Amino acid sequence: MKRFQALTLSSESDEVPLSPFFARCRWVAFLDLESGGVRRVQNRLRSAEFLVERILAEMPGRLICGFIDARSARRLRDSGIDLRLGPCSVPARRLVHEAWRLPAPKGLVAAEIIPFAR
């Protein structure tokens, strides 16, 4: 697994839950698992295409999001990024170290129905 993971967020803080909407998320955070550093990129166009391009430019090993459309999911997966769906009810940063437990998207699935063990 590459040392970077990405999270789609509804605000600039990575202590907020995941954004429930991929294309409309306000920020994507890139976490360096070794140093603990975080770099945030604003999704200023609020579009799936813009967000996919920004994520591909960084090439994280994994993306954790609340929801992702099938076209974006295919592009990211085909580029070698591991995709995981997480709940939009817990702080996003908590999901990083247990991401392997989160399901991969199978078509269009809403993350709110996926339970997360606390």
| Residue 66 belongs to domain with CATH number | 3.30.420.130
CA of residue 63 relative to chain centroid, distance: 4
Residue 107: what pLDDT?
Answer: 53
Residue 118 counted as domain residue: no
Domain that holds residue 54: 4-113
On the 0-12 / 13-18 / 19+ scale of CB atoms within 10 A, 114 is middle
Alpha carbon separation from 34 to 1, 3, 95, 98 (Å, rounded): 12, 7, 16, 16
Residues 18-31 have pLDDT tens digits of: 999 999 999 999 99
Q: Is the pTM of this model over 0.95?
A: no
SS3 category, 66: coil
Domain count, the chain: 1
Model confidence at 114: pLDDT above 90: no
Residues 54-101 have pLDDT tens digits of: 999 999 999 999 999 999 999 999 999 999 999 999 999 899 888 889
Strand partners, 108: none
